[in-house]
Structure 1
Amino acid sequence: MLDNADQSDDSGCESESEADPWELPELQDNSPAWQTLTRCEKVKRVLLGWLLKAILLVCLLYLFICSLDFLSSSFRLLGGKAAGEIFSSNQLLQNPVAGLMIGVLATVLVQSSSTSTSIVVTMVASGLLPVRPAVPIIMGANIGTSVTNTIVSLAQSTDRDEFRRAFAGATVHDMFNWLSVLVFLPLEVACGYLYHLTKLIVDSGDWTRFEGGNKDLLKTLTKPFTELIIQLDKSVITAIATGDEVHANQSLVKEWCSYSEEMVVSNVTEINNATMVTITMAKEVLVKVPLERCTFLFNNTGLSDLCVGLLLLVVSLFILCTCLVLMVKILNSVFRGKMATIIKTTLNADFPGRLSWLTGYIAVMIGAGMTILVQSSSVFTSAMTPLVGVGVIKLERMYPLTLGSNIGTTTTGVLAAMAASGDKLPFALQIALCHLFFNISGILLFYPVPCMRVPIKLARIMGNTTAEYRWFAIFYLVVMFFCVPGCVFALSMAGVVPLMVAVALFLTTLLFVTILNLLQRKCCEKLPKFLRTWDFLPFEFLHSLDPLDRVLTKLFSIFSRCCCTRRKNRKNQIVLLGKVEELEKLGCDELKVIPDGMESGFCTQRPSVESTPFNSNYNSMIGINA
């Protein structure tokens, strides 16, 4: 419906266009051949062309990963407490659709599925949230984590074909997550498939001997730099989510970095469950006493979390965009000629003969391994997105890497669950395993059979649409990650009936559009004439983005005209130098006196017919202010 890449014939049916925009570009190497270079030129090419570019690429990748950490921190400062408060509304969490949208919104707000998943695991471990209502929240967190690489793809919007591939490479993650939710959320609500499977696994083994907690791998390299800029106390968000009112007004910016634990006597009030009598007694309580203040850029600035978050957001986006633009330029300069052919062939090649079917599964394992290494699916998929854009990795290869990344990111929740102790461990581990098996189930459904790889086809539609209407990328981000979850969340607060009616209407419309699109592509000529295209709909905006494109184009043109008129006028101005008395007679647009004691000045004048005689008499004084 949105895919305008194909041409229509006279019968109204679509015919495939000859040029395939998804073919990887062949970048020609225009530099002199190696054999024709002198010894000095060869050394220069090796040092500057290869070694220096490799070092720059590694440095830019390091800054890029750090900028993603800053971006995540800025979103936590801006929306972390709101995310914690969303999790604390236990009544809404019992609604599976509301729970799903809460998971999406919370993950978008904190820019980390690891954080939102860890919060859910903590709530389950502490008994605040049962396992079964927590499953839809985990599904929503899976969707929300894909917003980062979608934002990253916007950096390649200057080149239409690069943007097509980059946006498709980013949204293939979204499409897989949404399709998995559409299939497995109703199944989970109906029969508790994930709940019963994971309960069986947890009950069948002794998990107390395993040790969990946070395992820093890539963060060991990035922490020394990121902690010089900002340090956050993530426990504040978890405390708000678990109903701890003490932390509600506490800043997320960490103040103390070193504590000592001391036992102090404190009055503790308890309720006897048998007699329901309140008893207050003196008990020894373990208290953390702060010893050493943290030292980083945003410490003790006197700014609120909102101000620090906004500043950090601007800085992180600037670093991210700069690194991406420079990385793309370096990659474009490196991947040319024979080297480009070798690298692209190696990355996109299949195993020979009958083993070719194993290639995708090896890619899934590589994606999972790399994500476990960097401890973030957002970092891995965001690093892959520019490579898809420049044409190094095909969309078909990006897909299994993304699926593996989805599995790799579940290790964070499993490790957080392993950190629980005693009778809390089985429940925490069960919800972490729900996350793992949800992703495995999605892979088993949407990968092994080639015709079921629907996310790739949907990602191509997104890429083609964005290549034609570049504003669609922003529209997609706002609608899919903010408007839709927000509207569904609002409907869930109105009650179950309005929510179910809205969901039923949406699913019915989606099913009708999908079936008719398939019929138009596969057996168009057998359809009635009015169903061969979407022109039968009463309004153009129901089947085309052209009306919205025209409106936005007009708005952009008006805005650019207002902003550029002043600049254009200044560019076309003529600047004249002379005596102030003579310049005053000419009716200058602007006259500036030079403090040199000679009563001279500058006259600024827009070129016109009347000014021509004057210009001819004072040629030596005329300059164009370009």
Structure 2
Amino acid sequence: MMVSSLQHLGRDVVQTIIQATQNPFTGLFIGLLITAMIQSSSTTTAMVVALVASGSLTLQSAVPIIMGANVGTTITSTIVSLGFISRKKEFRRAVAAGTYHCFFNLLTVVILFPLEYYYEFLSSLSTHIGGYFSTHTSAPLKNQVFHFWSGFSPLIDFLVNTISNGFILIILSFTLLFVSILVFRKLISDLLEAKTPEAFSRFFFKNQLKSFTWGLLTTAAIRSSTITTSVVVPIVAKKITSLKQAAPFIMGANIGTTITAFIAVTLNSNASGAISIAIAHFLFNFIGMLIFFPIPVLRKLPIELANSLGRLTLKYRLAGFVFILLTFFFIPFSLIYFNQESLKTMHITYKHIEGDDVNYFRIIARTNTRNNSGEWMKFEGEQKHTNEEPSMIFPVYVKNKSLFVGDQIFLLNKPGFCWDGEDTKGKYRACIEEVLPKLEIAGFSFDSVFVCNLHYMEAGQDSLKNRVYVAAEDKIIVKRQLSDNRDSVIFTEEVTRFERH
């Protein structure tokens, strides 16, 4: 119901997320906040895969969102633990069990996020692995909808079609969620009281390897770590098993939940970016398991943190509520606020002249000044229209003297430097023709403009020459001219308006 509700809100919500996630800190906490609100990392992951697959979101921007989603999904088990607040001793054990998953993922983020932030560890590794499976080209923005089979699907479709307001649908789905959590807690508690606790514990938590395997398999089967980790809370609260015995089960559930991303990728099998983000999701959880499962000292760390919070709740019953507010809302909002200045935005209008036809289009170029990654969103027409959607979104990345725009690369080197490339017109040989100290177009002055000549080599295209002018300071294309072998101009595109924000 929540997936359908969010998709019903429309493209504006998605665009807001795209704009906000260029800063890795912001992306991390956007992923945390969204997942905490919808209580499903599977939903967040599926949406991120869709955005990466369509070229709307770069892999570097998507990885922090996935990290945040892994932390955000732990809010449900924490909320479930608060259901035991009326039973003092059970409440302590429930809070410890409910927050263990959160501490485990938080510690994994503390280790892996700096590696991604400074060295792009996960994105580079997942791209390398994903490169063995597929290739990626820029693609038009598409609405990707992921339907996971459910016996309630006809009812959900009926409600979505009957209630046209997305916000009303979200309120309804939130109400259903919290009612289901209360019912869930009662059913599990009654079930555990009806069964022999020793037999139950022996079946699932006999040893660490068995516990880990059951956590992985059950979560992979139902595609929701939220459910499986929440089941552990009443089991630990009622002393059917200890948190130490249940911890490997939760780690296994963390690995099992990554199956959702791979299922989503099957709908985007030709997009290596989608494959790479699914691999990154798996690597994040797998590396966390490798750090905290085999090494006894590190294995105790999240357990001790969870038990400490549990003991704190004996003195202060509100400690659990404060933990939820700080971890999932106050700290994310604060860090988003203090890290919002690293996004550079440029609004560029181009004039396209082809024969007697003159058309205009606009590019909104957003770049993260820290890692020089972002995207160009193309809009048709000279004027902005209400609720307009981009016709194309190109992921953009700058590294050293290289500018990557969608499936094209421009190497800003000395004149005479050449390289091979490929775009929608086919394979080409590109060379730096000259470097202009300054170029003035439509009253705007651009410094250090590299003039790149692209000669297409495939049959039927060998007579085409594409001359591209790239402004080195702003890393944008200021002019493009396509001509034939007689130097007759086929079309020209050049800047008519330029604004920095």
Give the alignment's TM-score, normalised by structure 2.
0.61
Matched, 1:168 2:86: no
Question: 1:438 matched to which residue of 2?
Answer: 284
Q: Distance in 1 between matches of 2:45 and 2:177?
A: 24
Q: Distance in 2 between matches of 1:160 and 1:78?
A: 42
Residue 459 of structure 1, aligned match among 271, 288, 306: 306
Matched, 1:428 2:274: yes
Residue 414 of structure 1, aligned match among 259, 262, 267: 262
Task: State the 1:76 CA deviation.
Answer: 4.6
Question: 1:313 matched to which residue of 2?
Answer: 174
Task: Trace 1:159-558 onto structure 2 (pairs within 5 A).
Answer: 159-205=87-133, 223-224=150-151, 226-227=152-153, 230-231=156-157, 254-255=160-161, 299-300=162-163, 304-332=165-193, 334=194, 339-350=196-207, 360-422=208-270, 425-453=271-299, 454-495=301-342
Task: State the 1:395 CA deviation.
Answer: 0.5
Task: State the 1:348 CA deviation.
Answer: 3.9
Task: Say which structure, 1 or 2, has more relative contact order (CA 8 Å, 6+ apart).
Answer: 1
Rg larger for? 1
1:387/1:207 CA distance change after superposition, 3 Å:
farther
- Quick check: 1:101–1:485 contact (8 Å CA) kept in 2? yes
After superposition, the C-alpha distances for 1:577-623 in whole angstroms (9 at most, x for unaligned) are xxxxxxxxxxxxxxxxxxxxxxxxxxxxxxxxxxxxxxxxxxxxxxx
More helix by share: 1
Q: Distance in 1 between matches of 2:302 and 2:113?
A: 18
Amino acid at match of 1:87: I
More strand by share: 2
Task: State the 1:491 CA deviation.
Answer: 1.2
- Quick check: 1:78–1:309 contact (8 Å CA) kept in 2? no
1:349/1:207 CA distance change after superposition, 3 Å:
farther
1:345/1:115 CA distance change after superposition, 3 Å:
closer
Q: Distance in 1 between matches of 2:95 and 2:12?
A: 29
Residue 107 of structure 1, aligned match among 16, 35, 52: 35
Matched, 1:141 2:73: no
Q: Distance in 2 between matches of 1:429 and 1:147?
A: 27
Task: State the 1:494 CA deviation.
Answer: 4.4
Task: State the 1:215 CA deviation.
Answer: 10
- Quick check: 1:78–1:109 contact (8 Å CA) kept in 2? no
1:457/1:110 CA distance change after superposition, 3 Å:
same
Amino acid at match of 2:331: V
Q: Distance in 2 between matches of 1:373 and 1:132?
A: 29
1:153/1:77 CA distance change after superposition, 3 Å:
farther
Matched position secondary structure for 2:236: helix
Matched position secondary structure for 1:419: helix
**5+ long unaligned stretches in structure 2:** 137-143, 344-501
Matched position secondary structure for 1:127: coil
Task: State the 1:393 CA deviation.
Answer: 2.4
Q: Distance in 1 between matches of 2:133 and 2:112?
A: 26
- Quick check: 1:80–1:109 contact (8 Å CA) kept in 2? no
Matched position secondary structure for 2:83: helix
Amino acid at match of 1:477: I
Amino acid at match of 1:320: I
1:125/1:194 CA distance change after superposition, 3 Å:
same
Amino acid at match of 1:230: I
1:346/1:361 CA distance change after superposition, 3 Å:
closer
After superposition, the C-alpha distances for 1:548-588 in whole angstroms (9 at most, x for unaligned) are xxxxxxxxxxxxxxxxxxxxxxxxxxxxxxxxxxxxxxxxx
Matched position secondary structure for 2:339: helix
Report the count of equivalent residues: 335
Task: Trace 1:70-89 onto structure 2 (pairs within 5 A).
Answer: 72=2, 76=6, 84-89=14-19
- Quick check: 1:372–1:409 contact (8 Å CA) kept in 2? yes
Task: State the 1:110 CA deviation.
Answer: 2.5
Task: State the 1:79 CA deviation.
Answer: 8.8
Q: Percent identity?
A: 31
1:175/1:205 CA distance change after superposition, 3 Å:
same
1:445/1:421 CA distance change after superposition, 3 Å:
closer
After superposition, the C-alpha distances for 1:242-263 in whole angstroms (9 at most, x for unaligned) are xxxxxxxxxxx622xxxxxxxx
Q: Distance in 1 between matches of 2:239 and 2:121?
A: 40
1:200/1:306 CA distance change after superposition, 3 Å:
closer
- Quick check: 1:75–1:110 contact (8 Å CA) kept in 2? no
After superposition, the C-alpha distances for 1:254-283 in whole angstroms (9 at most, x for unaligned) are 22xxxxxxxxxxxxxxxxxxxxxxxxxxxx
After superposition, the C-alpha distances for 1:445-499 in whole angstroms (9 at most, x for unaligned) are 1111111121111111111112322211111111211111111111122459xxx
Q: Distance in 1 between matches of 2:110 and 2:82?
A: 27
Task: State the 1:184 CA deviation.
Answer: 0.6
Amino acid at match of 1:367: G
Matched position secondary structure for 1:371: helix
CA RMSD of aligned residues (A): 3.0
Task: State the 1:440 CA deviation.
Answer: 0.8
Task: State the 1:142 CA deviation.
Answer: 0.9
- Quick check: 2:204–2:211 contact (8 Å CA) kept in 1? no
Task: State the 1:205 CA deviation.
Answer: 4.4
1:230/1:439 CA distance change after superposition, 3 Å:
same
- Quick check: 2:204–2:210 contact (8 Å CA) kept in 1? no
- Quick check: 1:367–1:405 contact (8 Å CA) kept in 2? yes
Matched position secondary structure for 1:448: coil
- Quick check: 2:5–2:160 contact (8 Å CA) kept in 1? no
1:318/1:120 CA distance change after superposition, 3 Å:
closer
Q: Distance in 1 between matches of 2:133 and 2:52?
A: 19
Amino acid at match of 1:325: K
- Quick check: 1:413–1:432 contact (8 Å CA) kept in 2? yes
Give the alignment's TM-score, normalised by structure 1.
0.49
Matched position secondary structure for 1:230: helix
Amino acid at match of 1:197: L
Matched position secondary structure for 1:482: helix
Question: 2:423 matched to which residue of 1?
Answer: none
